Structure 1
Amino acid sequence: MEFDQPPVVRVDVEPGEGLDEESWPMTIPAVAQLAREGLDLPRGVTFLVGENGSGKSTLVEAIAAAYGLNPEGGSTGARHRTRASESPLGQHLRLRRGIGAGRWGYFLRAETMHGLYSYLEDNPTGLEQRPSGREAALHEMSHGESFLEVLRTRFDSPGFYCLDEPEAALSFSSTLGLIDTLHRVAQEGGQVLCATHSPVLAALPGATVLEVGEWGYQQVRWEDLELVQHWRAYLEAPQRYLRHVLDD
């Protein structure tokens, strides 16, 4: 019998000690909805889009940890740690894995990427399951170049890939390059979960877009995202926004 499922089919929350309904992160509407309803993850690319504090990064981080990925970035083999800042949510998630799907995965987050680079340099043959070949000198590259190098060398098989606001490191043209990478991963059978503020990135054809906010999370069309509407209005007439934030 042949199976064709993505690495993660569904995410549910298992209540327990350390996860208080009256405390963070359960007070975040998106996390509370996950606890009530769970979340089905489709194959291909899923974007979580929302304002700062909406919970999109908390969800991605917790799902990555539950999959076995290092919370500060890397694969299932990475062991580097600086200062623990992740929520306890990942310890309470139950993932339904896809039957027959691979186990490889990678978590890439903009805010801890330099710590990951140091780990990769210090452990060229360590627990990090890096592809064969010489490790690139990531610290010697620009922010965007190093980010794209990790994407090129790690996002190279049909696994489960988590990204947290990757556009923070990328220019407009480099973001288009990331779109190409994510499209390739999806075409090759991989699965991507990405938290983003970028209307450019979220426009990837065929992607599932979940808007995250005070209501929780809901699937929307790209053109209906509040983010997209604001960017369109701002680019059309910046002064309509700037007059509210700048002194006369």
Structure 2
Amino acid sequence: MTDARWDRRPVRRVSAGPDVPDDAGWPRTVPAVDHLLRDGLDLPAGVTVLIGENGSGKSTLVEAIAIAYGLSPEGGSIGARHSTRRTESDLHEWLRIERSVGVRRWGFFLRAETMHGFYSYLADNPGTGDEPDFHALSHGESFLAVLRTRFTSPGFYCLDEPESGLSFSAQVALVSTLHEIGQAGGQVLCATHSPLLAAIPGAQLVEVGPWGLRPTTYDDLEVVAHWRSYLDEPMRYLRHVL
């Protein structure tokens, strides 16, 4: 057991708080959400990857945990407060975040679907550093620029499907960045479909599905098995849809 005096994890555990309504409907009807509220989720140091199909609840979990930690629902750091349209669930209001004592409360929430709005927020609220014009860059270039300018110190980093729109080489660069953050004492929680991101060395892998949440290994991931089969023989899959 880690001595609490030396535990530097920004988030040690996520569990249900006292305000979960007795008649909670969605999102508690999602098995992964119900699992979290019943059993909680311990987050180790380094990288935790939630991986599963669309609709499995992985993005709902990452979003709620990020907001409960104090991050903007539409992405950004602790201080970001830009907002366009509220789409988040009430799950964050039901969660309790167990933090480590004395750890700096820095974090960043990166979600692919709201990055354009975040770039506009940065343009309207410029910092003091040397930042690029994110809107003038391609999606992949701007994404990598965010990594370079925002993922620079230990903290709590939440990412929702960051592989969206990224090339193979850009995803490999993202693997390197997230691994470096973990090695430097930061903590990462990432929801993804990508077998590339699931291959981050030392990452805790949690498969999300009808069973709720279950720890797994890289070779046991369904998405890894499907990609291996598809790349080996694409028509094994395409003959059912063409």
Range into which the TM-score falls when normalised by the shorter chain:
over 0.9
Give the conservation status (yes or no) of the 8 Å contact 1:30–1:215: yes
Percent identical among aligned pairs is 65
Matched, 1:13 2:9: no
What count of residue pairs does the alignment treat as equivalent?
Answer: 239
Q: What SS does the aligned partner of 2:205 have?
A: strand
Give me the whole-angstrom Cα distance separating, in 2, the residues matched to 1:89 and 1:124.
32
Q: What SS does the aligned partner of 1:193 have?
A: strand
Q: What SS does the aligned partner of 1:195 have?
A: strand
Corresponding residue of 2:161: 165
Report the Cα offset of residue 89 of structure 1. Answer: 0.3
Correspondences of 1:122-201 after superposition (within 5 Å): 122-125=124-127, 132-201=128-197
Q: What SS does the aligned partner of 1:111 have?
A: helix
Matched, 1:212 2:215: no
Give me the whole-angstrom Cα distance separating, in 1, the residues matched to 2:22 and 2:68.
15
Query: Where does structure 1 lack aligned partners over 5 or more consecutive residues?
Result: 126-131
Corresponding residue of 1:84: 86
The match for 2:41 among 39, 42, 57 is 39
Q: What SS does the aligned partner of 1:8 have?
A: coil
Q: What SS does the aligned partner of 1:189 have?
A: coil
Matched, 1:107 2:103: no
Give me the whole-angstrom Cα distance separating, in 2, the residues matched to 1:52 and 1:15.
29
Give me the whole-angstrom Cα distance separating, in 2, the residues matched to 1:56 and 1:188.
25
Paired AA for residue 141 in structure 1: L
Report the Cα offset of residue 136 of structure 1. Answer: 1.2
Paired AA for residue 36 in structure 1: R
Report the Cα offset of residue 210 of structure 1. Answer: 0.2
Corresponding residue of 1:55: 57
RMSD: 1.4
Paired AA for residue 215 in structure 2: Q
Give the conservation status (yes or no) of the 8 Å contact 1:3–1:99: no
Q: Deviations over 1:208-248 (max 9, x none)?
A: 000000000100001100000011111111101001111xx
Q: Deviations over 1:165-206 (max 9, x none)?
A: 000031000001001100110111000000000001110110
Give the conservation status (yes or no) of the 8 Å contact 1:9–1:96: yes
Corresponding residue of 1:74: 76
Give me the whole-angstrom Cα distance separating, in 1, the residues matched to 2:224 and 2:7.
34
- The farther-off stretch of 115-124 and 3-12 is 3-12
Report the Cα offset of residue 33 of structure 1. Answer: 0.5
Give me the whole-angstrom Cα distance separating, in 2, the residues matched to 1:20 and 1:224.
36
Paired AA for residue 43 in structure 1: A
Q: Deviations over 1:17-60 (max 9, x none)?
A: 66743x11000000000111011000100000000000000000
Q: Deviations over 1:152-174 (max 9, x none)?
A: 11111110000000000310000
The match for 1:239 among 230, 235, 242 is 235
Q: What SS does the aligned partner of 1:176 have?
A: helix
Corresponding residue of 1:226: 222
Give me the whole-angstrom Cα distance separating, in 1, the residues matched to 2:198 and 2:20.
36
Normalising to structure 2: TM-score of the pair?
Answer: 0.95
Give me the whole-angstrom Cα distance separating, in 2, the residues matched to 1:115 and 1:103.
24
Query: Where does structure 2 lack aligned partners over 5 or more consecutive residues?
Result: none
